[in-house]
Every structure is written in C-alpha cells, then in structure tokens.
Amino acid sequence: MHSIVTVGSVPLVPADVVAVARHDARVTVDAEAMRRVAQTRALIEGLADDPQPHYGISTGFGALATTFIAEDRRAQLQASLIRSHAAGTGSEVEREVVRALMLLRLQTLATGRTGVRPIVVETYAALLNAGITPIVREYGSLGCSGDLAPLSHVALAVMGEGEVRDADGRSMTAGEALAAAGIEPVLLREKEGLALINGTDGMLGMLLLAAHDLETLLTTADVAAAISVESQLGTDAVFAADLMALRPQLGQAASAANLRAFLAGSPIVASHRGPECTRVQDAYSLRCAPQVHGAARDTLAHATAVAGRELASAVDNPVVTVDGRVESNGNFHGAPVAYVLDFLAIAVADVASMSERRTDRALDVARSNGLPAFLADEVGVDSGLMIAQYAAAGIVSELKRLAAPASVDSIPSSAMQEDHVSMGWAAARKLRRALDGLARVLAIEVMTGCRALDLRSPLQPAAATGAVRDLVRTRVEGPGPDRFVSPEIEAVTELVASGDVARVAVSAV
C-alpha cells in the first residue's frame, strides 16, 4: 500500500484512492502541476478584469448565470455559493468516502484546468494530511452538476466554516480544526467556488471503493461455491477448462479456474467420482456458479474501465482548456458513473441470490445428499442453521430492491436549468449497502458449508476449502447443539469483509 500518493503528475489509479481514503496515505502535489495551476489562474484573473461577463467568474450560477456581479461583490458571491450549496441532510457519510471525494477533487484542481489559485490546491492537500474530515450528510446530491452538496460541505471547511472531525474522530468546527493544524482558511476568489463543487468525485470515490471490495467478494463467492459443491457432493467436472472454452466469456473462465483450484485434490469430491455415481447433473446454483460469478466479474471489469476514464478526467464547469479558453460544458453530468453503479448493484444482487440458494440446499434433507436436516445436531430438538438461511433470504430480498436503478429516476431542479440529473450519488449509496449485504450472505454460505464439511468426516476437504474451514473454526465452533447464532454470523462476516476468507483459499493453492 502506498504511503505517499503524488497528485498532478499522472492520473491517480484506484489503489491510490483506496490508500488515501482508507489507510491515511499522505498526499503531495507535483511541482509541475502547481506551475500549471498558477499559469491557468493568471488567465482567470485577466477575465475577472474584463467588463464583459464570464460565467462563474463575473456572473451568478445556474439559473442566475445571466446576472452580472460587480467586482466588489465577487468574494461574497463565492462564499454565498458554498454556504447555500452545503445543504446536505441526514446521517454522516463515512470518513473513507469523504476522504476519497476530497482526493479526487484535489486531483482535478491540480490539473490546472479549473482556474483556482495554488493556495486552494495546497489547502486541500493539507486537510487530507492533517486527517481533517468535513462532515458530509447523506442526502443532497442529484449527481448533476456533479455532487454539489457533498463537495460544498468540504469547500465550506476549507473556508474555515462548518463541521468537521479531526484525525481522532472528534467533532468540532472547521475553524477550530484548521487552527489546531496550523492551516489558514481560504478566502475564495473568482471562479473558485464553482471549481470546488462541480464534479463527480463523491460517486466516483464510492465506485472505486466498491470495485475494490467487490473484487475480493467475487473471489469469496467462488470459495463459498466450492465449499457448497464439495459438501453437497456436487461434481467439479462441469468446471473443466475445455467446457469453459466453448463459451469464451472472460469472467466465467476466471471463476471456473478458481473453482477447479479450490476443489483440487478433494477426497470428498473423489469419493463419489466414477461410474458408481448415479447423479446426472447438479442444480443450477452449483453447476452454473462460474456463469453467474463470471458475469459479475465482467460487469466489474466494465465498471472499472469507466472509473479509470473518469479518474483521468478534469471535471469542472466552466473549464479552462489547454489553449486558454474558458468554456461551459456538461462534463459534470454523472451518467457514465451512475450507470455502472446501478449495473454493479444488479450483479451483487444476483451473486447473493445464487449464494442463498446454495445455503438453502445444504439445509434441506431432501437435496443435501445425506446431511442432517438444517445441519442440526439433534434433529427435532435443534434447529441448526435454519434461521441463518432466513437472514440470508431477507438480505437477498433487500438486495433485489437495491438493484432497482437510481440512474433512471431523474428529477428536475434549479428552476428547470438542471432538468435532467444522474442520481449517481444515490446509486453509489445503495451499492455500498448492497456490498454489505453480499458479504453477509456469503458469510452465511461459508459458515453453513464449513459445518457441512465437518459433517462429511472422516472424508476430508480440499486444501483450499479445508484452509477456509480451519480459519472459520478459529472464530466459530464446529457442529453441536444449538447455540447463539448471531455472533457467529457476525464473526464470519468479518472474515469475509476483511478479505481473509479469499486470501486463505488463494494461499492454499
């Protein structure tokens, strides 16, 4: 993990955003980038002296774009813009999301295409390095003109106003936090207010964090499926490379390769392989795992490509072009990001749905190939993992609701000037909740599958699935009489969400 991330020399990569957002990597701004920032600012100051109006420099904003603002009122104009747009409401947004948003806005400022002064760039970097996190509220962004309200809460803190949390998580005024860190508040000048709030940084930051997490969860889904196939006496023959090659979908091939590796050398699988096995084929939730998990992988690959292009963007309105023109544009519209956020929510819901079906099969005595009902110790007296499956089913039901796209739900604003919006922020917020749900559903499958593996003793699992079972056993006891189930689900969910389940399985092969 990077300990220092340099902004401005080349576009950030997803790992940079994760490092700063989650692991408090320090940021530094490239010297050449600062030279570009100063050069562009000189153009803005020249236009500020022009008696002809220029949008965002000597005019109002949005529906007030035709209103000329006299020079002596422009500092007030910038402050008023930020104060009025910092209109978020609801619960606090997670610290990692706000830090990602701040870093991505800093990157755009450092391109030299926004027209801010170097001091603004330096102050954003200083806030990140001091661990000062503006309090951003859940609701307020329509994803066009970018994430206005969330970005405004950050800009307000740069001005020394509003609420923040310091590096220790304590709530205080921005003025107090900046003073304690030795950072001077910024008095915004022409164009700078717009430059700080016109961007897709919030939704993009959440997309990058979600993509990072989903990559691990999809490997975990392959692990969970392997445990289910093995413990339910399914066949690994359907995952053969030559069968996958008949349908050359990249994600499918990757998931099938994982399943082959995770099941390699399994004595349980070997115990029912051969002519004496009377089973013709497994249910879809076992047999088609690579097809579903693979489709999710391909969706993630598409979303990652969109995110990469957005990372290489300088989103502002107006923007200062390379040849020095100041032009209005629509690049702040969040549609490209919003679409893939919604697309990922669909994939997450489907992967979880298939996982829950595999869990249910393990608990059903009519379909589990010899396992006790609900994997109970004393069937009838004990309920085993019956209600753990209920929890998974309830989450899957919610994930289906979260899969309904936000990006088709445009709602007009700003006196019909902003008459079509992306709702990308909302798409990102629901994807974060969906990923939490997927982790829990996979944890329940892993927990169920590991109990089923134990119940196949004395037959032993494969190296990879056995390693996962042993990991789970460090947190959750094996089969036995009924006990308090909720803490066990939480413990395995932590192993899934941290990536430990995936790491242990991959390391074993």
pLDDT tens profile 421-471: 999 999 999 999 999 999 999 999 999 999 999 999 999 999 999 999 999
What's this model's pTM, rounded to 2 decimal places? Answer: 0.95
- For residue range 169-208, list pLDDT tens digits in order: 999 999 999 999 999 999 999 999 999 999 999 999 999 9
- Would 381 be classed as within a structural domain? yes
Instruction: Report which DSSP code applies to 408.
Output: T
Residue 215 and residue 194 share a domain: no
| Together in a domain, 414 and 436 | yes
Q: For residue 332, is it within any domain?
A: no
Q: Which domain holds residue 495?
A: 206-303+352-508
* Rounded Cα–Cα distance for residues 447 and 495 (Å): 11
Q: Are residues 218 and 260 in the same domain?
A: yes
75 and 220 both lie in a single domain: no
Strands 4-7 and 26-29: parallel
Asked whether residue 152 falls in the same domain as residue 217, the answer is no
Task: Say if 435 falls within a structural domain.
Answer: yes
Lowest pLDDT segment from 164-178, 279-293, 298-312, 452-466: 279-293
Total structural domains within the chain:
2
The CATH code of the domain that includes 226 is: 1.20.200.10
- The model's confidence at residue 5, banded by pLDDT at 50, 70 and 90, is very high
Report the b/e string of 367-387 with b at 16+ CB within 10 A. Answer: ebbebbbbbbbeeeebbbbee
DSSP E strand boundaries for 128-286 = 133-134, 137-139, 163-165, 171-173
- 198, 232, 253 - which closes a domain: 198
Query: Does a structural domain hold residue 331?
Result: no
Same domain, 132 and 217: no
3-state class of 29 per DSSP?
Answer: strand
Q: Which of 130, 163, 198 is the last residue of a domain?
A: 198
pLDDT score, position 340 = 98
**459 in the same domain as 356:** yes
Sort 240 into a burial class: Cβ within 10 Å, 0-12 / 13-18 / 19+: exposed
CATH code, 167: 1.10.275.10
Burial class, 327, CB count within 10 angstroms (exposed 0-12 / middle 13-18 / buried 19+): exposed
**Residues 126 and 211 both lie in one domain:** no
Strands 26-29, 133-134: pairing is unpaired
* Claim to verify: residue 263 and residue 181 sit in the same structural domain: no
Q: pLDDT for 370-391, tens place per residue?
A: 999 999 999 999 999 999 999 9
| Separation CA 505–CA 209 (nearest Å) | 23
Compare 317 and 63 and report the one with higher pLDDT: 317
Residues 127 and 259 in one domain: no
Which amino acid, 72?
D
The residues carrying an active-site annotation are 55
156, 178, 198: which is the final residue of a domain? 198
- Are 189 and 255 within one domain? no
Both 117 and 230 in a single domain? no
